[in-house]
């Protein structure tokens, strides 16, 4: 009897497409699990110091008390109270005006200085250090310096006005000038950081693009508009996001220079929250205002990132 060899077809010896997919999914899941395990040490502080306090603050915005005494649920009373508070309306307007003025001024000056440092690199290290020094100073010290500069009796600004034969200015006693002083103080403090940020961005632009524009006959301003600025836009939008988050939380300079005065003309959202919490002991309203501030920052940040994403899609 002759032996008959029965061999299984090659197709039956290989994994099916579904089995391949399941095996690939299991492999990816194992890799993802290992990756998540490495992330856990970083997620725990994030949850402990950001997510949990945020959720707790939202809960306390519907309560009265909650720091040294037992929280009492009051529903929307805190939100109704701050929505009818004219000081909050003024604080929002002042904060918005401050944010716009500070960002426009510091970005304009920082970009101008970055262009100069990028073009004239000889001796630029000294100017980089000089620009960065104010950022190393505590915010309270910056406020004290500007308080000295703008003092009515012996401030440097009024001494210069006297030397020019002009009348003294009560700078911190004028609502417009006081807010402008806060803007200038914060711009002076942050100018070095943003100058170095834009300088690093400029140095990442390929020199070949600038050379090609020169060959085509483009002058300095034309090269800036047609080459430099379009390539800087993603970095600019990201910088705007960071600047919005930082400037909406301005407090130290306000506390040292004006304490919200004169007549609440320099009151900001964080100053309003501080007053509600520590001066008036209205903790529920303070938490409600803090949640409102968080919401404003999140909305503006989302809009900025949406603009950044839309811009990148158009480029690609």
Instruction: Mark whether 131 and 225 lie in a shared domain.
Output: yes
Q: Are 237 and 92 in a shared domain?
A: yes
What is the separation of C-alpha 233 from the centre of its chain, rounded to a whole number of angstroms? 16
- Let me know if residue 5 belongs to a domain: no
pLDDT over 70 percentage in the chain: 86
19, pLDDT greater than 80: no
For residues 112 and 229, state if they share a domain.
yes
> Are 48 and 185 contained in the same domain?
no
> pTM to 2 decimals?
0.83
Q: How far is CA 299 from the centre of its chain?
A: 13
Q: Give yes or no: residues 52 and 99 share one domain.
A: no
Q: Are residues 17 and 120 in the same domain?
A: no
Residues 6+ apart with CB under 8 A from 7: none
pLDDT at 1: 47
Same domain, yes or no: 15 and 105: no
- Comparing C-alpha atoms, which of 278, 270, 265 is closest to residue 86? 265
Q: What is the pLDDT of residues 91-108, one digit of tens each?
A: 999 999 999 999 999 999
Query: What confidence category does residue 21 fall into, taking pLDDT thresholds of 50, 70 and 90?
Result: low
DSSP per residue, 149-191: HT-TTT-HHHHHHHHTT-----GGGSHHHHHHHHHHHHHHHHH
Inside any domain, residue 69? no
What span, in angstroms and rounded, lies between the C-alpha atoms of 256 and 266? 12
Let me know if residue 2 belongs to a domain: no
- On whether residue 136 sits in a domain, the answer given is yes
Quick check: 5 pLDDT over 60? no
In a domain, 68, yes or no: no
Bridge partners, residue 63, by sequence: 73
For the chain, the domain total comes to: 2
Are 111 and 44 part of one and the same domain? no
Kindly state the helix (H) or strand (E) to which residue 103 belongs, with its residue range. helix 86-119
Q: How many CB atoms lie within 10 A of CB 212?
A: 13
Using DSSP bridges, classify how beta strands 63-64 and 72-73 pair: parallel, antiparallel or unpaired: antiparallel
Say what the pLDDT of residue 48 is.
80
Q: Are residues 36 and 141 in the same domain?
A: no
Segment 277-307, tens digit of pLDDT: 999 989 999 999 999 999 999 999 888 888 7
pLDDT digits (tens, 9 = 90+) for 223-281: 888 888 888 888 888 899 999 999 999 999 999 999 999 999 999 999 999 999 999 98
Same domain as 35, residue 93? no
List the domain range (segments joined by +) for residue 29.
10-60
CA torsion through residues 216, 221, 223, 227, sign: negative
Residue whose pair of structure tokens reads 């417009």 in the numeric block: 176
Residues in the chain: 316
CATH number (domain holding residue 159): 1.10.3720.10
Residue 294 domain flag? yes
Among 18-22, 178-182, 200-204, the least confident range: 18-22
Could you tell me if 169 and 244 lie in one domain?
Answer: yes
Are 55 and 81 within one domain? no
Omega prior to 34 cis, within 30 of 0 = no
């Amino acid at each position: 009897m002759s032996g008959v060899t029965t061999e299984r077809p090659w197709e039956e010896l290989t994994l099916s497409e579904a089995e391949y997919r399941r095996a690939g999914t299991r492999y990816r899941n194992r890799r993802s699990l290992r990756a998540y395990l490495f992330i856990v040490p970083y997620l725990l502080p994030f949850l402990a110091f950001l997510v949990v306090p945020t959720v707790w603050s939202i809960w306390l915005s519907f309560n009265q008390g909650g720091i040294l005494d037992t929280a009492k649920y009051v529903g929307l009373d805190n939100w109704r109270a701050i929505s009818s508070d004219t000081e909050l309306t003024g604080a929002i307007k002042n904060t918005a005006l401050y944010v716009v003025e500070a960002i426009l001024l510091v970005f304009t000056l920082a970009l101008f200085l970055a262009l100069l440092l990028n073009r004239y690199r000889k001796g630029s290290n000294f100017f980089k250090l000089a620009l960065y020094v104010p950022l190393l100073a505590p915010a309270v010290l910056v406020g004290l310096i500007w308080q000295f500069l703008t003092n009515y009796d012996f401030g440097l600004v009024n001494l210069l006005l006297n030397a020019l034969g002009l009348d003294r200015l009560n700078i911190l006693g004028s609502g417009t000038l006081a807010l402008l002083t806060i803007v200038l103080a914060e711009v002076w403090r942050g100018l070095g950081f943003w100058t170095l940020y834009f300088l690093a961005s400029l140095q990442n632009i390929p020199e070949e693009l600038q050379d090609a524009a020169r060959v085509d006959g483009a002058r300095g301003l034309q090269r800036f508009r047609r080459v430099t600025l379009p390539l800087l836009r993603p970095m600019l939008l990201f910088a705007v996001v960071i600047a919005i988050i930082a400037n909406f939380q301005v407090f130290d300079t306000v506390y040292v220079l004006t304490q919200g005065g004169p007549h609440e003309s320099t009151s900001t959202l964080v100053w309003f929250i501080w007053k509600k919490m520590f001066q008036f002991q209205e903790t529920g309203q303070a938490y409600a205002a803090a949640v409102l501030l968080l919401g404003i920052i999140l909305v503006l940040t989302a809009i900025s990132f949406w603009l950044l994403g839309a811009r990148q899609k158009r480029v690609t």
